[in-house]
Amino acid sequence: QQQVKQSPQSLIVQKGGISIINCAYENTAFDYFPWYQQFPGKGPALLIAIRPDVSEKKEGRFTISFNKSAKQFSLHIMDSQPGDSATYFCAASYSGNTPLVFGKGTRLSVIA
Amino acid sequence: DAGVIQSPRHEVTEMGQEVTLRCKPISGHDYLFWYRQTMMRGLELLIYFNNNVPIDDSGMPEDRFSAKMPNASFSTLKIQPSEPRDSAVYFCASSFWQPNSPLHFGNGTRLTVT
């Protein structure tokens, strides 16, 4: 049973465009929603995270939008660059330091 | 800080052989996690430890898999006997005990079982 569903599986975006990756969750107890970025040959690394008391969090070109009622959250990458080409994972967990549950990942390719 | 260190980076073995993957977490981290990554299933949590004690191993796929953490600076994941369907990238990650502390992943071990 997949607790966090991520889409799309792969995404191709032109340089300078907006990349959007979506995730949906079932467990309403989740209260922490991070995004991890993984480059080829490397382990995932924390990119940005949000808690459900806010609807949006922005860090540079990366923004998380959170919709609690719809149980959905998304990652927006503005002005996408070839260096953003990577696999992105959404994840969720709930208080008490429970392990993260990851989505299946989205492979993003930004082409010039 | 050298980060989480995993060895070997690549392992190719024949079906039926024993495989041991190794991990050195970041010093001071209280939690250690073993994940498996495949195209079909994404990142799956296999087992995690808190202060060297296994907390949840419900993600370990079969009895062929076992993990140990004899001390705070070392953990192993063993597969015996290995099967072709075990081929995947295995990641070790560590974190502090505080809720929602970031996971720090190693660069993984790519296992190929022929």
Interval B19-65: pLDDT, tens: 999 999 999 999 999 999 998 899 999 999 999 999 999 999 889 99
pLDDT of residue B1: 64
In this predicted structure, the answer to whether residue A1 has a pLDDT above a threshold of 70 is no
pLDDT of residue B97: 77
Nearest 5°: the CA angle A60, A19, A27 is 90
Give chain A positions within 8 Å (CB) of B35.
102
| CA distance linking residue A3 with residue A21, whole number of Å | 17
Taking residue A22's Cβ as centre, other Cβ atoms within 10 Å add up to: 16
In this predicted structure, the answer to whether residue A12 has a pLDDT above a threshold of 70 is yes
Give chain B positions within 8 Å (CB) of A95.
99-100
In this predicted structure, the answer to whether residue B80 has a pLDDT above a threshold of 90 is yes
pLDDT of residue B99: 72
Residue contact A93–B100, C-beta within 8 A: yes
Q: State whether residue B51 sits within 8 Å of chain A by CB.
A: no
For residues A87 and A36, the answer to whether their CB atoms sit within 8 Å is: no
Residues A15-43 pLDDT 10s: 999 999 999 999 998 999 999 999 999 99
Q: Which of residues 9 through 48 in chain B touch A, CB cutoff 8 A?
A: 31, 33, 35, 41-43, 45, 48
Give chain B positions within 8 Å (CB) of A43.
4, 91, 93, 105-108
At residue B65, what is the residue type? F
Indicate the length of chain A as a whole number.
112
| CA distance linking residue A69 with residue A67, whole number of Å | 6
Looking at every residue in chain B, the average pLDDT score rounds to: 95
pLDDT of residue A2: 62
| CA distance linking residue A1 with residue B19, whole number of Å | 28
Residues A41-100 pLDDT 10s: 999 999 999 998 899 999 999 999 999 999 999 999 999 999 999 999 999 998 766 789
**Residue among B58, B61, B54, B57 at smallest CA distance from B87:** B61
pLDDT of residue A52: 87
